[in-house]
Amino acid sequence: MRLNDKVAVISGGARGMGAAEAKLFASEGCNVIIGDILEEESLETASEIRKNGGKCTFLKLDVRKEKDWENLVSYAIEEYGKIDILVNNAGLTTDGHVETLSLDEWNRIMDVNVTGVFLGCKHVLPSMSSAKRGSIINISSQLGFVGAGSSNPAYQASKGAVRILTKNIAVRYASYNVRCNSVHPGPVDTPMTETARSDKEFLARLIDKIPMGRIGRPKEVAWAVLYLASDESSYVTGIELLVDGGWVAQ
Ligand SMILES: NC(=O)c1ccc[n+]([C@@H]2O[C@H](COP(=O)([O-])OP(=O)(O)OC[C@H]3O[C@@H](n4cnc5c(N)ncnc54)[C@H](O)[C@@H]3O)[C@@H](O)[C@H]2O)c1
């Protein structure tokens, strides 16, 4: 199994891509800890994993709160003695353009999508660097690469910030054998995109921009994250792995 006896923390693992990663990791022998604000959905995901023979626990985590990260890391170290993998997956988006976006809304997106990633890395890195082993995967977006007029500017800026924060950590911690990479999904079939996907005209315009002619499935992103989490990527750090059906290639 590709993650046998490893310990992974997945933020935003209640649903969507985070849940797909949690399920895939558990099926590869990993002890998964889901951290999320959605208690009911997280418990359902964790119980489904356990029913299928996997190992998964849920801890309440608001990625914006330093105390929550401290509690989660303490729990993982007490329970398993280590954290091998951190997937900073929690994120959210909103509507609006530069001129219509309120400062509060800008800050709300930045707090989860950037500060949440920073705090996750900050609190997991001490145990990873002292163990001289670890893999951090930060979920950015293809919208952290290229502009899209229909996308929210705070979301795009936040995903660009995650892309370069990842490289700072990759370079700083390479000598500790701690790797840090970013994954950049294109549009994926998750609750986040449900409203957009229900607008048939918008969906048709979106699909028209994707060379592969379809949106992605959560598991297709999870497979990419699994590669970066596993020892198969032991010499890979600081990369940007696009999983976008060719969006950024054109
Ligand atoms: N769906 C897409 O098309 C797409 C494309 C590119 C990138 N992404 C990114 O992928 C990641 C996962 O997105 P998804 O589509 O699965 O979204 P989703 O909305 O289905 O799931 C996001 C999860 O993050 C959790 N979350 C939100 N705020 C949180 C907080 N403060 N603390 C802890 N957890 C919190 C939610 O409760 C939810 O479980 C996000 O970072 C998103 O920006 C999504």
Q: What percent of the chain has pLDDT over 90?
A: 98
What predicted TM-score, i.e. pTM, was given to this entire model? 0.98
- Span from the CA of 217 to the centroid of ligand 1 (angstroms): 14
Q: What does pLDDT average to over the chain?
A: 97
Q: Check pocket membership of 38 for ligand 1, CB cut-off 6 A.
A: yes
- Span from the CA of 134 to the centroid of ligand 1 (angstroms): 23
The whole-number pLDDT of residue 239 equals 98
Atom 31 in ligand 1: which residue has the minimum CA distance?
62
Q: Is 137 exposed, middle or buried (0-12, 13-18, 19+ CB in 10 A)?
A: buried
The whole-number pLDDT of residue 149 equals 83
- Span from the CA of 175 to the centroid of ligand 1 (angstroms): 31
Catalytic residue among 75, 80, 155, 235: 155
Q: What percent of the chain has pLDDT over 70?
A: 100
150 has a pLDDT exceeding 90: no
CATH architecture of 7-189+217-243: 3-Layer(aba) Sandwich (3.40)
Domain ranges of the chain: 7-189+217-243
Is 80 catalytic? The answer is no
Q: Check pocket membership of 59 for ligand 1, CB cut-off 6 A.
A: no
